[in-house]
Amino acid sequence: MKRYRPHILVVIALAIVLSTGWHGALRNALTDLRFAWQSRDASGNVVVVAIDAASIDQIGVWPWPRQLHAELLHRLEAAGAADIAFDVDFSTPSDPASDEALVKALREVGGSTILPSFKQPTPNGGAAHVNRPLKPFANQSWPAVVNVAVESDGLVRRYPLAERLGDALMPSMAVVLAGQDANRRPPFLIDFSIVATSIPSVSYVDVLRGDTAVLDRLRNRKIIVGATALELGDRFSVPNGKIVSGPVLQALAAESILQGRMLRWTSDIGMILGLGVICLLMLYSWRRVAPGIRVAVLIAFGAAVELVAALVQARWPLVIDTSLFHIAIIAYLTAIALDEIDFRSLLGRIAESRFHRIAMSLGDGLVCTDEDHRITVWNPGASAIFGFTPAEMIGRPFGTLCAVPADGDARPSMHDAAHQALLVPGGAVVIEFEGRRKNGETFPVEASFSGWQGTDGFQYGAILRDISVRKREAERVKYLAEHDVLTGLANRNALHAGLAGMIADADRKPREIALLVIGLDGFQQINNMLGHSAGDRVLRAVAERLRIEVDGKAVVARLSGDEFAIALDCAETGDPIAAFAERIAHAFEAPLATGTRQHRVRISIGVAVYPEGGHNADDLLSNGHLALSRAKATRRGSHVLFEAAIRQELENRLTLESELALAADRGEFELFYQPQVRLIDGSLVGAEALIRWRHPVRGYVSPAEFMPVVNTSALSERIANWVMETACRQARAWELSGNGVRVAINLSPSQLQSGDLAHAVAALLDATGLSPSLLEIEVTEDILLHDESRVLDMFKRIQQLGVRVLFDDFGTGYASLSYLKKFPLDGLKIDRSFVFDLLANSDDAAIVGSTIGLSKQLGLTVVAEGIENRATADFLVSMGCEEGQGYFFGRPMPAEAFETQFLAAELGAVSAA
């Protein structure tokens, strides 16, 4: 079989070429090359009268009147032209006079003119349309077909002798022009060795002018009239990269006929015989003759065959197809090359060279061993990792690189790992082991083992990486993922995981798990006064004290800025959880040392205990924070144990906040007005605007229930601004009706904290038109504790507008008496807590009397709240109080009721209702 393998290869190559038709392209190329090697001139018997660019320039845009063609016929007849063929479309009528002139000319020249017919494809891909000369023209001329076939490569090579149009067989134009018989022979190959430029050509316009020299060239010549101008588009591609016009192509076909050069392919018998000779020659000489001689014989045989084919084509109208000869020769040359080259050895050397280049350029270590695990390849990457040179390692066992495991386990087996690699997708197994450097240092190594069958037996390879840096980074990433960077304590994630683990254990063995959420009291002041660096030192000291207190029996974590947590199994402490929490709180009674400073930091603790305080880690964290919030509000410096009531209170507050937001959107708030009177005669001096909430289900809701929530929610500023605007508009309405009622409103802290209150008051007065003296703003003393200088400046500007400013609930806040001196005030309101027992409590009477006396000395108006009887009112008058309000004079009421009771008529005195 090996003996006949080259010949089988050749047969397969020929079969593939024949089945695909590739030899046709080679045959055409060889024929075209022979045309280029040998050239011949045209006989001169065929002349082209060219419709060229010069003729179009002088005569005008194509198509021309057929009267010109009639005149051209007369000129050609007069010049003695033998036969005349028009390669022009005469299938459609034009101007009747011109058509008649052409018919007359055709008749007068004796009816020997040839007119074209041609097939034209339809745009929709249907049957081709046949264009014939008009019947009057056809009756006076010879018919001829001008169609030519364009081959798959876009070139025209063959020319038909005739073509069937309808039921009749019509000869081609070149056949009629050459006077040949149009029988049923197949198309012939045009001889393109005839130089197209040697075909005589004259300009259409020169013939029309009757140029004598031009007409003399036409005597006894066969004439083809057609378009050669580029803009008329009648162009064809022919062999050897040339493009010719339609008339010239017809002329080349006519010349091929006239010169006996109607080329035809030879039969396939000669080709088959030639292929047989080549095969027999190669069969005989394959093992008897040296490869070089066989190559020379094949090349010489191919050159001789091609030379004979060129000579035959030049001498006779025969084209010998040598394509399969050359393909067979190329196939045999390839077979000789494949037979002589040891491809396995060559590919092996190429692969080995490529492997060596890759191995030496790898940044990772690459080590290969033989089947006895002795190192055969050691690249520079391995030297960089282990410190050994190639000379020190080649031939040594691979185990030299492995450190003896501290736990006594066996070293990794390259044999096992490599054989395992053969069984997994990808063909590699990655393991880690402890490596040993030349200096004795051990380090983690990642090895990717593989194995393969080599020429010298089974071989092994390993790509080695020093992963000590990666291990350290992984440990650092793991540490950062579980610990707080500042304090080194566990972070929230680690605490959550620890809690979850404790709860899972408690499910198996029932016991309590406690979570203490710890907050520092007043830590923000340390940051503000001493800076964040000092704050960080305090946080580290707190973390260290917590660590000491739990003594490894609990998980200590930092949750956020100044919040910490302790998660513990209550069975580990030995104390009740309340006692443990108090011990942690008392531990911070001693100052914290941070460098040269000592800080006293109190802590508040919220405690949540599993399972009552939460069934999972998230619940415990959430409830612990709620308990901490309660501790900060009620028991600073101590602890609060979470109870369901704490969450219920929060949920109630959230529900109330949601209802208040809906109330603001729906307009459920109203303003009631409580009268303020002059105590000496009971005359009306003003009214205090008080907010009320008409709930769609509960009716009127007490301000004591919802105002604390409003004042600490995001709704505070919105509702306070609504109160001020509504009260101002109501006061302005009363002012326009002739009742100058001074309206007092209570200021919300949120109105001071956002924006410029003085500017807002001025804009509101301008928008409503209210006289500033009819607006009174009541402010509580504790507002002054926040940004004192800014607040004082703002109220000075409000007072400059003409608006009155009063201290509300005086005596119950945090302000000192010095505020009465520097704060821009117009009066004080004595809180109802001092007025209610004024007659029975001498201490209250002393406080009220002192306040009234001090106010008079400072020039301030005094308004007493909570007057509920005449005796109290009379006693306040005797003490010098000028104004008052209370149920004795009138309860808070809607604006309409207030107008009816106090503004409908002049009030001489106010009596109890």
Q: What digits encode the pLDDT tens for the residues 727-782?
A: 999 999 999 999 989 999 998 877 777 778 889 999 999 999 999 999 999 988 76
Confidence tier at 345 by pLDDT (50, 70, 90): low
Percent of the chain with pLDDT over 90: 24
The residues with which 675 forms a beta bridge, in sequence order, are: 687
Amino acid 911: pLDDT: 39
Confidence tier at 17 by pLDDT (50, 70, 90): confident
149 has a pLDDT exceeding 80: yes
CA distances 245 to 52, 58, 67, 460, Å, are 11, 21, 24, 73
Confidence tier at 200 by pLDDT (50, 70, 90): very high
Percent of the chain with pLDDT over 70: 90
Confidence tier at 912 by pLDDT (50, 70, 90): very low
Residue type, position 22, single letter? W
Amino acid 39: pLDDT: 86
DSSP 3-state of 557: strand
| Position with higher pLDDT, 427 vs 311 | 311
Contact present, 470 and 461 (Cβ < 8 Å):
no
| Position with higher pLDDT, 238 vs 350 | 238
Alpha-carbon distance 157 to 146, whole Å?
A: 14
The whole model's pTM is what? 0.44
Q: What digits encode the pLDDT tens for the residues 153-189?
A: 889 989 998 888 877 888 999 888 888 876 767 899 9
Amino acid 677: pLDDT: 94
DSSP 245-313: EHHHHHHHHHHHHHTT--BEEPPHHHHHHHHHHHHHHHHHHTTTS-HHHHHHHHHHHHHHHHHHHHHHH
Amino acid 913: pLDDT: 35
Residue type, position 783, single letter? I
423 has a pLDDT exceeding 70: no
**190-204, 317-331, 398-412, 560-574: which has the minimum mean pLDDT?**
398-412
**482-491, 652-661, 686-695: which has the minimum mean pLDDT?**
652-661
The residues with which 860 forms a beta bridge, in sequence order, are: none
Q: Average model confidence (pLDDT) for the chain?
A: 84
269 has a pLDDT exceeding 70: yes
Q: What digits encode the pLDDT tens for the residues 870-880?
A: 999 999 999 99
| Position with higher pLDDT, 15 vs 673 | 673
611 has a pLDDT exceeding 50: yes
The separation between CA 813 and the C-alpha centre of its own chain, rounded to angstroms, equals 59
Alpha-carbon distance 836 to 452, whole Å?
A: 103
**100-104, 139-143, 468-472: which has the minimum mean pLDDT?**
468-472
Using a 10 angstrom Cβ sphere, with 0-12 exposed, 13-18 middle and 19 or more buried, the burial of residue 525 is: exposed
Alpha-carbon distance 277 to 886, whole Å?
A: 136
Contact present, 873 and 884 (Cβ < 8 Å):
yes
- Sign of dihedral through CA atoms 693, 697, 702, 706? negative
Alpha-carbon distance 359 to 380, whole Å?
A: 9
Neighbours of 708 (CB within 10 A): 12
Amino acid 871: pLDDT: 92
Q: What digits encode the pLDDT tens for the residues 234-261?
A: 889 999 889 999 999 999 999 989 998 8
Most confident of 253-257, 318-322, 356-360: 253-257
Cis peptide before 63 (omega within 30 of 0): yes
Tokens, residue 606? 């919220």
Confidence tier at 906 by pLDDT (50, 70, 90): very low
Mean pLDDT calculated for residue range 366-381? 86
Mean pLDDT calculated for residue range 283-294? 79
Amino acid 909: pLDDT: 40
Amino acid 151: pLDDT: 86
* Alpha helices (H) in 286-407, listed in sequence order: 291-315, 323-340, 343-361, 380-386, 390-393
665 has a pLDDT exceeding 80: yes
Confidence tier at 3 by pLDDT (50, 70, 90): low
Contact present, 150 and 141 (Cβ < 8 Å):
no
Q: What digits encode the pLDDT tens for the residues 630-654?
A: 888 777 878 888 887 777 777 777 7
725 has a pLDDT exceeding 50: yes
Question: Residue 372 — φ and ψ, nearest 5°?
Answer: -95, 10
The residues with which 450 forms a beta bridge, in sequence order, are: 461
